[in-house]
Structures are given as structure tokens and as C-alpha cells.
Amino acid sequence: ISFVWISISLVGGVLVSLICLRQTDLKSLIAYSSVAHMGIVLAGLLTMTYWGLSGSYTLMIAHGLCSSGLFCLANVSYERLGSRSLLINKGLLNFMP
């Protein structure tokens, strides 16, 4: 029965990743990518193998570190420009290296 849950979590992760491709708001993009990561973590945990468990553990640690940093950077760009839109914030690497 875990095959069914693995399939559901992987399909959900792929669908949420496709939703991420259409986002223009920075915070919603980060939040949707978090949901996609947790779908992959759930699929890895349900495999109950060494590679699945260690990969899920590694992804959880990496996600916890990167997601908080991304939210911080989104807040910094919002404070400086007053917008969370990707259309307005694109090309900021040229201005704020």
C-alpha cells in the first residue's frame, strides 16, 4: 500500500513544481517549492530503504536552511523595492551583487 502513497506524493510534488513555474510572487514561489520538497521527502521516507531515509533526512536539513534564507532574501528585496513581484525584481544581481 505504500506504493500508492509514494505515487501520490511524487505526482503531487510534480504538480506543485509545475505551479511554481507560473508564480510571479516571491513568497508564494518559496512556499510552493517547500510543498514540492516535502512531497519528495515523503516519497523517500515511504521507501523504507537506507537511501530513501538518508536522502529524505538530507533534504529536510537542506530545506530548513535554504528556505529560511530565501524568505529572508525575499523580505530584504521587498523592503528595498516595495514589491514581491518577480517581474519587478528580476535583474537585481546587476544592481545589488
Say how far apart CA 54 and CA 75 lie, in whole Å: 32
Say how far apart CA 21 and CA 24 lie, in whole Å: 9
Query: Could you state, in order of their start, the residue ranges of all structural domains in the chain?
Result: 1-94
For the stretch 29-50, pLDDT in tens is: 999 999 999 999 999 999 999 9
Cβ partners under 8 Å of residue 80, min gap 6: 96
Say how far apart CA 39 and CA 13 lie, in whole Å: 5
For the stretch 49-82, pLDDT in tens is: 999 999 999 999 999 999 999 999 889 888 888 8
Q: What is the pTM for the complete model shown? A: 0.83
Residue type, 83: S
Say how far apart CA 29 and CA 17 lie, in whole Å: 10
Say how far apart CA 70 and CA 27 lie, in whole Å: 9
**Residue 33 and residue 59 in contact, taking contact as beta carbons nearer than 8 Å:** no
